[in-house]
Amino acid sequence: MTKQELEAVLAEALGRIAPDVDVAEIDRDGNLQKEFDIDSIDFLNLVTALAKRFSLPIPEEDYPRLHSFSAAADYLAEKIA
């Protein structure tokens, strides 16, 4: 899967959690929770959705590696490669 495809999946998952936010207009290096105004439960829902979508375990100690849109895309690219 290309990074562009990964970003599309990530954007879709984020869109379900924060439907009012335009992913194209966010700071890709900004904190996801601040950019999307999501709480810890929403963040956990995002992680769970990504783990399920990619059949990938995402341990809690890796959550900080998903702090931004770019970091999350890089993390996913690394794990599914």
Mean pLDDT, rounded, of the chain: 93
Residue 37 main-chain phi, psi, to 5 deg? 50, 50
Nearest Cα to 23, choosing from 57, 73, 60?
73
Q: What superfamily in CATH does domain 3-80 come from?
A: ACP-like (1.10.1200.10)
Q: Give residue 43's identity as a one-letter amino acid code.
A: F
The whole-number pLDDT of residue 29 equals 96
Q: Is 63 exposed, middle or buried (0-12, 13-18, 19+ CB in 10 A)?
A: middle
Q: What is the band of 70 on the pLDDT scale with cuts at 50, 70, 90?
A: very high
The whole-number pLDDT of residue 24 equals 85
Domain limits of the chain?
3-80
